[in-house]
Structure 1
């Protein structure tokens, strides 16, 4: 027995003063309502309505049940109305998880405008290079950079693409020269990104096709910004995503190694626990992220 449905039916019967009129309002038969009330009375062990062929009245137990039912149903309706009204509003608490380098270089710069636009929103931004369980962590949204998202119960939406290229500082090139072909990379000091899919294997696509390289970086770091800083200090060559490399390259602080070669381009995914997770605050955040990425 659906208690809320039966409560609603009982309330309608009392307020309309008739099984027939209540049944008409609810789109069911009077016989069905009569059976539901009988089952309700049996479950409670009390008679709620006294009925004759001409009249119907509440018993003392029925009056108590009716009054309590009104409070319960009004409270349920109030909650549902608040949820419906808030579904399209950017308010509440938004919890976002993102890698530290992407968070610092891409997310944080657009946060002032985002927070000014939605002053009623609370935001928790967790920047963690580990892949976290977003459901266990209570996150509404996780931004993940992957070549592909594995099949799972999570819902992933592609919001952008990243270019991965090889860089070195001019000071490194002056001391050690620059590789002129993929095969020459093995003769150089490589700084690897510890969490990358390509830590020990580079697939380079260039004008002569695809080159597969086995790499054993003597220096490995778990953060793209730390890798960038080591490259800037002339400590070796390494791969960087464009959101990290664009600034130093534009200023001449880093130069491309094998500029006509690139690694596979990973995708940027906005991940929610379910399609219901795509509410107004999540949508607004993803819209600002797309704009920051030039999408």
Structure 2
């Protein structure tokens, strides 16, 4: 039995929840997955996973073994990386997830520049506005908006704060007028980003005063920021979005900034990564580069 291979197979079966998913992830046959699990159970003389043709159940010993195996494999990977990355030349694969809108406008250009500086690095970029499970997807880094980390096995670094702007098309303003204060938004159609932590709750500040507005249902709800901008440009309603996303439209007058005396609650981008990746030179260098690039471009926007 190849012990490291068997442990890796066991780990991915547990994390992905099925033999089929683990086989696809590891580019092995289902028969090879079963063989490795059987050999491991025979070696340990203990059942780790009860399985039928339709489902699997991890035993208590299996759960205990998984947590120990995961830590050992992570430490082994860290040890490997410490040698592989000991040279000045970075090499290898970095797998990253980014939200679609920020990815297209900000992060992907940064990744392209990073790869030009480090030609031996390969990057697999997954663009999705959904929060992806870093362990399940085998991700090294996830770029995402602020919010509490759902696992103690994750760490994060702030990339940059993003100013939000309230805006609408000139056509919409001509027809419906401008809101003068946060409460005025109740009588307007506010376009909703469905994946926000609180899509219908917008927060505004003026000096030391804070007002939280719980908006009525919108006629347009979508899970993508660029689609929201298109809806606002079409005159469908009022948009609350990172200023960076609409800087050009605000400059040309296609979109008009609303309630300039009120500041919307700030948004921020974070780089989230598994705890054991903190020692990876590739990951550290990548995050450092993204922070520097984004900071420079946001300040010059």
TM-score range normalised by the length of the shorter chain:
0.5 to 0.7
Aligned to 2:283: 282
Aligned to 1:160: 160
Inter-CA distance 147–115: structure 2 relative to 1 (3 Å threshold): same
RMSD over aligned Cα atoms: 2.4
Give the secondary structure class of the aligned counterpart of 2:106.
helix
Give the secondary structure class of the aligned counterpart of 2:202.
strand
Q: Which moved more, 1:253-262 or 1:221-230?
A: 253-262
Inter-CA distance 221–278: structure 2 relative to 1 (3 Å threshold): farther
Output the CA distance in 2 between the equivalents of 1:103 and 1:127: 7
Q: Which runs of 4+ in 1 moved over 3 A?
A: 79-82, 84-89, 147-151, 275-278
Q: Once the 2 structures are TM-superposed, how far is the Cα of residue 159 of structure 1 from its aligned partner? A: 1.7
Inter-CA distance 209–151: structure 2 relative to 1 (3 Å threshold): farther
Aligned length: 218
Output the CA distance in 1 between the equivalents of 2:214 and 2:179: 15
Contact kept? 2:111, 2:290, Cα under 8 Å: no
Q: Which moved more, 1:203-212 or 1:95-104?
A: 203-212
Q: Once the 2 structures are TM-superposed, how far is the Cα of residue 155 of structure 1 from its aligned partner? A: 0.8
Q: Once the 2 structures are TM-superposed, how far is the Cα of residue 148 of structure 1 from its aligned partner? A: 4.4
Rg comparison, structure with higher value: 1
Output the CA distance in 2 between the equivalents of 1:160 and 1:81: 28
Alignment of 1:17-166 (within 5 A): 83-86=83-86, 89-150=89-150, 152-166=152-166
Q: 5+ residue gaps in structure 1?
A: 1-75
Q: Once the 2 structures are TM-superposed, how far is the Cα of residue 123 of structure 1 from its aligned partner? A: 0.8
Alignment of 1:118-267 (within 5 A): 118-150=118-150, 152-207=152-207, 209-216=209-216, 217-267=218-268
Q: Once the 2 structures are TM-superposed, how far is the Cα of residue 283 of structure 1 from its aligned partner? A: 2.2
What is the TM-score with the length of structure 2 in the denominator?
A: 0.66
Inter-CA distance 82–239: structure 2 relative to 1 (3 Å threshold): closer
Q: Once the 2 structures are TM-superposed, how far is the Cα of residue 200 of structure 1 from its aligned partner? A: 1.3
Q: Once the 2 structures are TM-superposed, how far is the Cα of residue 86 of structure 1 from its aligned partner? A: 4.3
Q: Once the 2 structures are TM-superposed, how far is the Cα of residue 157 of structure 1 from its aligned partner? A: 1.1
Q: Which moved more, 1:246-255 or 1:138-147?
A: 246-255
Give the secondary structure class of the aligned counterpart of 1:226.
helix
Q: 5+ residue gaps in structure 2?
A: 1-75, 297-301
Contact kept? 1:140, 1:282, Cα under 8 Å: yes
Q: Once the 2 structures are TM-superposed, how far is the Cα of residue 248 of structure 1 from its aligned partner? A: 1.9
